[in-house]
Amino acid sequence: MSKEENKVYVFKDLKDMLKSQISKEVIDNKYINECVREENENFKNVLVNLNRETKAKGIALFLYSEEDNKFKLRFKLGNISVIEEKYIIQLCEESKAKLIINKYIHKIIDIKETQWFKKYIENNNTDINKNCGTVRIYSIKDTNRLTGVLSIFYDKNINLQNINSNVIDYECEKLALLIKNKILTNKLREELVKRTLSESKLKSFLEIATDLWAIMDYKQQFKCVSPSVIDVTGWSNEKISTMDVFDMVHPDDRERAKKYIKFIKNAKGENSIAKVLCANGEYKIFQWNWSCIEEGKYVFLAAKDITEQKKLQQQKKELEEAIMIENFKNKFLANISHEFKTPLNVILATVQLIDKNSNDLKTDEIDLIKYIDGIKRNSYRLLRLINNLIDITKIDSGHYNLQLQNYNVVEIIEDIVMAVREYIKENTRDIIFDTSEEEIITALDESKIETIILNLLSNAIKYTNDDGIIEVSIKYSKDRKNILISIKDNGIGIDSKEINNIFQRFKYSNNILNRRCEGTGIGLSLVKSLVEMHGGKIIAKNNSLKGAEFIFSIPVRLTKGNTTNNKILESSIEKCNIEFSDIYFL
């Protein structure tokens, strides 16, 4: 191998490797220590080679420290009793200038020998060059900058004329490259210390930060999570490290989260919201940002727990809705006063008329039955209104309880329909009852189901024209876990503007001129509440051809106790009188 090739080898052996590692950002203490070990080995090899070629008594290598402007002993080889292990040379500018200009000098100005060496000279009263040989100081330079000095100690018997100066020059050039590499290694070590310190500070900051953070790999596993994640979710470090990240996301948010995060270099996202599973089985709401790091191999997640914030927003929404309902109540009170006054005025007028004529007319000349019917009908209207108000008040206060027993719901609804058909037999409307099941036993409150059916039938009768048809049907849901009851008519249908609000309390048609019956807007709201108290749901829709349809469900379930026979027929006529009292044509 030529000298130039050897130079390139030495330089590439360390410097290029360090630069490569810097560019990859994978430097660690282990790698730095390996570089230092190789440097020391290379320095030792150069000094050993010099010692062999020059037959020197000893060699010492001093490296320049810019921090304190001194040359410090770095390597020592052979028998050099004149130099202590921690020997330091402090050169003046004149001496440094001489070393930069000349290849070597014979004596360093202000050199401080060991105490042993000084005593040796005093006792022997001799000259160092005559008794101990010769010391030559060679300069090691990087361009015109002095980076080190090489002290070679020759025995007094060595003829310096026979020393191959080219070998020394070449080895000094190699040392210059090695020193340059060492400077780079030291700087690299300093940067690593700074980076480690910065990472430590960052980690300490993240650990005490209120926000949550985690690092996820491309396998969707957590590589690292902050203590706040453990505190908020309740999962242990051991458990969370084995979990799939997206398995913790609520099913409603999971697919969106998977599509949102991309393992692509420099990819990032902000302000995504998802519900995250906690150890206690509950979900908390996180607002999170993410960013790809390490060339897209990992994703850094930073999140905030906004569960309480969402609760406050929900409470604010509920408060706003309460204020809106309060406004509806004010309108409702204005309407309800009319609803109270109208039947009361009719009752009073009828009573006054009977009272006025009772003394002058004979009993058989007065059609008291007509007046009595008027009194009874309007009394029923008042009773219905009062009953609904009482029920709504109890539901709002949480004091409205269901009396659940096991009934054959098919039989109950069929009896109600038959009673209503009998009640309206003199009118031209018809009610059809249809069922695919003869018996379906489930737990329900008999009187509340009766209220639901009568209210919906009353609603259908109000808005069905002469010769209209009302269909009542019962069937199982597809999974047979629920019972579906449908009440459908071929009347005028529901205004498309009102269909979404039809179950809201105090909502009623504003078209007073076209209203064929009275109402306060609480009947359907009461129906919805009663259905939901049974664990069911109710919807309203317009038929494709004509009329409207109400469909509600109740779950199939049993309560303790035997099946009870219904006794609705005994009171159905009276309840029909009450529920249908606000229909004018009856």
Q: What is the pLDDT of residues 26-39, one digit of tens each?
A: 456 777 778 888 88
Using one digit for the tens of pLDDT, what is the confidence trace for 135-182?
A: 777 888 887 788 888 888 877 777 777 777 788 888 888 888 888 888
Name which CATH class applies to 210-305. Answer: alpha beta
Secondary structure (DSSP) of 240-309: HTTSBGGGGB-HHHHHHHHHH----TT-EEEEEEEEEE-TTS-EEEEEEEEEEETTTTEEEEEEEE-HHH
How large is the average pLDDT for residues 419-437? 83
SS in 3 state form for 333-370?
Answer: HHHHHHHHHHHHHHHHHHHHHHHHHCCCCCHHHCCHHH
Give pTM, 2 decimals: 0.43
The mean-pLDDT minimum among 319-333, 437-451, 480-494, 524-538 falls in: 319-333
Q: What's the distance, CA 72 to chain centroid?
A: 58
Predicted pLDDT at 130: 47
Residue 87 vs residue 119, higher pLDDT: 87
**pLDDT band, very low/low/confident/very high, at 552 (cuts 50, 70, 90):** very high
Task: With a cut of 90, say whether residue 579 has pLDDT above it.
Answer: no
Predicted pLDDT at 201: 58
Predicted pLDDT at 557: 93
Using one digit for the tens of pLDDT, what is the confidence trace for 56-88?
A: 888 888 888 877 778 888 888 876 655 555 566
- b/e for 220-240, b at 16 or more Cβ within 10 A? eebebbbebbbebbbbeeeeb
Neighbouring C-beta atoms of residue 428, cutoff 10 Å: 10
Mean pLDDT (the chain) is 76
Task: With a cut of 50, say whether residue 423 has pLDDT above it.
Answer: yes
**pLDDT band, very low/low/confident/very high, at 22 (cuts 50, 70, 90):** very low
* 58 vs 55: CA distance, rounded Å: 9
* 65 vs 67: CA distance, rounded Å: 5
DSSP state of 92: -
Predicted pLDDT at 107: 45
The mean-pLDDT minimum among 326-335, 457-466, 541-550 falls in: 326-335
C-alpha distances in angstroms, 511 versus 427, 451, 508?
25, 26, 9
Task: With a cut of 50, say whether residue 517 has pLDDT above it.
Answer: yes
Q: How many separate helices (H) and strands (E) can be counted in the chain?
A: 16, 18
Predicted pLDDT at 338: 61
The continuous run of DSSP H or E covering 260 comes out as: helix 251-260
Task: With a cut of 80, say whether residue 491 has pLDDT above it.
Answer: yes
Q: What's the distance, CA 280 to chain centroid?
A: 17
Using one digit for the tens of pLDDT, what is the confidence trace for 181-221?
A: 888 888 887 787 777 766 665 565 555 555 788 888 888 88
Task: With a cut of 80, say whether residue 222 has pLDDT above it.
Answer: yes
Predicted pLDDT at 82: 53
Predicted pLDDT at 20: 46
Residue type, 408: N
**pLDDT band, very low/low/confident/very high, at 12 (cuts 50, 70, 90):** very low
Q: Are 512 and 335 in contact (CB under 8 A)?
A: no
Using one digit for the tens of pLDDT, what is the confidence trace for 250-303?
A: 999 988 888 888 777 778 888 889 999 999 999 999 988 888 877 778 888 888
Sheet holding 134-142, edge to edge: 88-89, 70-78, 58-65, 145-154, 134-142, 104-105
Domain boundaries, the chain: 3-193, 210-305, 316-586
How large is the average pLDDT for residues 397-408? 86
Q: What percentage of residues in the chain have a pLDDT greater than 90?
A: 17
Domains 3-193 and 210-305 belong to one CATH topology: yes
The CATH number assigned to the domain with range 3-193 reads 3.30.450.40
* 552 vs 484: CA distance, rounded Å: 6
How large is the average pLDDT for residues 93-98? 69
In residues, how long is the chain?
Answer: 586
Pairing of strands 469-476, 430-435: parallel
Name which CATH class applies to 316-586. Answer: alpha beta
